[in-house]
Structure formats: structure tokens, C-alpha cells
Amino acid sequence: MEQKLKVNMNEYLPLRDVVFNTLRQAILKGELEPGERLMEIQLADRLGVSRTPIREAIRKLELEGLVLMIPRKGAEVAKISEKSLRDVLEVRRSLEELAIELACQRMSDSDIEDLELAQNAFREAVTAGDAMTIAETDEHYHDIIYNGTGNNRLVQILNNLREQMYRYRLEYIKDAEKRQILVVEHEQILKAVRGRKASEAKTAIREHIDNQEITVSKNIKEQK
């Protein structure tokens, strides 16, 4: 496992952000496994950095729900639980329904063209089969809808929630059998937005999220 954990240096980012991104990706990809302890000294040695950026990264990862602080034990990679999944998706479902309703009313023709391009990129990513790229293009598709609401406060709240959603999104996308269903669901959402049919769009987005909850909950139960 240790040889997998590599720092991808980025000349445009401060070291603390590079360390954070490295640990975050390691958790999301499963290189750091649920329940695994995060020892500052060991991680600092493995990444070739001091303990300070490690400590800062662990603190940020805790805020995202990816790391759990255990009293008298320290930090460990948080396990995916049905309760945390349900909590996040209950909030996401309500916010996404609001977002898609506003987007149907407010998105410009140019915004809808951007959504069509994002759907094409998502479809290509699904065909290529790389889970991380699929997750990123899925995020981009939803970001266009969020920004199309014209409501900066809603966009901010959804972006904060997105960090907590990323792990569940990746867990869902790992199920290769579900990827074509995602493409179809995106198409239904796009069609409803293009036709400015808010009611149909809300139904489509609700089914999209419900299917994610069903699949990820099933995966969590199978992993126990």
C-alpha cells in the first residue's frame, strides 16, 4: 500500500493543499482504507513532508467526513455508514429539487448548451470506464445546473455538500452495471430542463438520487 501513496506536486498550489489532495484521493480510491489509522509521523515520512501539513490535511478531511477523530486513539479513515449516507442524501434531495426547479426557469440557452456538452463528456467518460473521471464529469454536469439557478447562496450550500457527497458518488460509480443507468438519468434531466418542464425535472432528479441511495446502501450492507 505504501508505494501507492505518492505526492503529486503542483507548482501552483501550496504544500498543505497538495498534501490534502493526496490524502483525499488516497481515501476516495481506497488506498487508505476505512478504519485505517492516520499516524502523522508515518504519513509525513511516506509523503516526505513535515507533520504540520499532515495535521492540517487531517483536520480538513474531518470536516468533509472522510476522517474520524477517536478520543485517546487519534484519526482514522471514516467508514461509510448507511446513516451518514441517508443524512447527506436527504439534504441533497431537497436542495437538488429546488435547484432543478430554478434552473428550468432561469437557465439561458447557452447554459443548456453547456449542459449538453457536459452530458457528452459524461457519456464519453462512462465509455472509457475510469471511475474518477466519471465522478468528475458527473460533478461538472450538476455544477452547471447549480450555477444555472442564479442563486449564489444555494450554489455555495450545494458546493459545501458536494465535498461530503464525493465519496458516495464514487462508491456508486464503482458499480459498472449502474453507469449506463446514470447516462439515461442525465438524459432525462437534460430533456426536462431543455423543455423547461420543472415538474418532470424534479421527478427525474429525485429518481436519480433515490437510485444512488439504494445502490450504495446495498454495497454498504454487502461490505459488512
Helix ranges restricted to H, the chain = 15-29, 40-47, 51-63, 82-106, 109-128, 131-148, 152-173, 179-194, 198-223
Give the pLDDT confidence score for residue 1 in this predicted structure.
40
Give the pLDDT confidence score for residue 8 in this predicted structure.
63
Dihedral over Cα of 181, 184, 188, 194: its sign: positive
| CATH 1.10.10.10-classified regions of the chain | 2-77
Span 2-77: which CATH code? 1.10.10.10
Span 82-223: which CATH code? 1.20.120.530
Q: Coil, helix or strand for 195?
A: coil
For the chain, list residues with pLDDT below 70: 1-11, 224
- pLDDT tens for residues 88-145? 899 999 999 999 999 999 999 999 999 999 999 999 999 999 988 999 999 999 999 9
| CATH 1.20.120.530-classified regions of the chain | 82-223
Give the pLDDT confidence score for residue 3 in this predicted structure.
44
